[in-house]
Amino acid sequence: MDLFEAMRCAPTSRRFKPDPVPREALVRTLEAARFAPSGGNRQGWRVVVVEDAERRTALRDLYLPHWRAYLEQTGGARMLAEPDGFDPARVRMVRRADDYAQRLHEVPVHLLVGVRLGDLAVTDAELPRQSIVGGASVYPFVQNLLLALRGEGLGGALTTLLVPAEAEVRSLLEIPEEIALAAHIGVGYRADPWPAELARRPVSEFAFLERWGEPLAG
C-alpha cells in the first residue's frame, strides 16, 4: 500500500470479524514499527500482545469503568440516552465507541504498549504547564504500528483508557514497575468497509507561514 494512501485512510476500527490474526502479520507490523524515532534513539517502547480469551475479558473489565466515567464526564452518556438534538455523526461515533467498549473481549488481539520511563527525555518537565514531551518518544512508534497494521489489511483502535488502570494491567500482564502504560490497540480484521479518506481539518486551518495566523495554504 502506498504510504500516503495509508496515512489518509487508516481509521479507528471498532468492529472486527472474528477471524484470528496471523502471528506473522503481527510480527511484521512490529518489525516495521520499530523504525520509529525516539529521544536519543533510546527505543523505550515495549509491547505485550494479548490473544488469550480470559485475559481479553479481564482487560474489558478494567476498561469499562473508565469508559463509563469518560462518557459521564464528556456528556456522551446523555447523548446515548437522548440522541435527538445532537449531531448524528457524533452520536454514531459515540455509539460505536460504546459498542467497542462493551465488546472489547471479542477483539481478537490486544496490544499493550508501554514505555520505559528511564528512557524518556522529558525536556518540558520544568515548564509551568502540563508536560507533553515524554509521549513523543513512544507515540511515533504507536502511529507506525497503526500504519503498519493498515498495510497488513488489519484494523486497529488506539485508546488510552486502560492507562488509568495501569496498576491492574501491570499485575495482570506481569509488566515491571519501570514501564508506564502508554496505549492500548485493539487489532483484528475490520468488519466495515475501509474509508477512502478520513474526516480531518484542512492544512489552512492549522499550519501558518512565518507567524501565527498567516495561512500557509489557501
Ligand X SMILES: Cc1cc2nc3c(=O)[nH]c(=O)nc-3n(C[C@H](O)[C@H](O)[C@H](O)COP(=O)(O)O)c2cc1C
Give residues in contact with ligand X (CB under 6 A).
11-12, 14, 97, 100, 157-161, 198-199
Distance in Å, CB of 210 to ligand X, minimum: 29
Cβ proximity to ligand X: between 57 and 74 the closer is 74
Least distance in angstroms from the C-beta of 209 to ligand X: 27
Of 48 and 158, nearer to ligand X (C-beta) is 158
For ligand X, the closer CB: 199 or 217: 199
Whichever of 177 and 196 has its CB closer to ligand X, that residue is: 196
Residue 200 beta carbon to ligand X: minimum distance, rounded to whole angstroms: 7
Least CB distance to ligand X at residue 68 (A): 11
Q: How far is the CB of 67 from ligand X (least distance, A)?
A: 6
Q: Please state, in angstroms and rounded to a whole number, the distance separating the CA atoms of residues 108 and 188.
A: 6
Amino acid making up residue 217: A
Least separation in angstroms between CB 63 and ligand X: 8
Measured from the CB atom, the residue of 46 and 150 that comes closer to ligand X is 150
Q: Closer CB to ligand X, residue 9 or residue 32?
A: 9
DSSP string for 7-43: HHS--B---B-SPPPPHHHHHHHHHHHTT---GGG--
Other residues' Cβ atoms within 10 Å of the Cβ of residue 174: 7
Measured CA to CA in angstroms, residue 79 lies from 104, 113, 142 at distances of: 21, 31, 30
